[in-house]
Structure 1
């Protein structure tokens, strides 16, 4: 048993996340599995603790989030 509760997002998935008290929406661009610089900050990711680069639909800017912060959008087409 893997212990994962939810399926992790994949590149191209439309997701939402909490941002400054409201909900942001966007698309997953890539999975990060090593320490690297993304979206203007250093991301401490690993194969066992990945993070995801997402691009906001509203601003067009990139952000990086842990999978627990992202929800797949049910209204995505």
Structure 2
């Protein structure tokens, strides 16, 4: 089942597993916080938001796990 906006997810960071939710799906090349990401329909990225800090980050959909 494809991920959807607002879905609870987890992802790995250097500090360990982070819990949060999906905010926005990207399927074209984009810039986020000074970095360029090569998203595509075959390899989409999600902007995710940490439930603990509220910080947002971009991650490949394949690196996210359903919580």
- TM > 0.5 fold call: yes
Q: Which runs of 5+ in 2 are unaligned?
A: none
Q: Which runs of 5+ in 1 are unaligned?
A: 1-6
2:16 is the alignment partner of 1:22: yes
1:1-16 map, 5 Å: 7-16=1-10
Please tell me whether the aligned partners of residues 39 and 62 of structure 1 are also in contact (alpha carbons under 8 angstroms). Answer: no
1:56 — aligned with what? 50
Alpha-carbon deviation of 1:28? 0.1
Q: Which runs of 4+ in 1 moved over 2 A?
A: none
Task: Render the CA deviation track for 1:43-67: whole Å, top value 9, x for unaligned.
Answer: 1101121111101111111111112
Please tell me whether the aligned partners of residues 27 and 57 of structure 1 are also in contact (alpha carbons under 8 angstroms). Answer: yes
Number of equivalences: 67
Structure with bigger gyration radius: 1
| TM-score (norm. length: structure 1) | 0.77
Local SS of the residue matching 1:11: coil
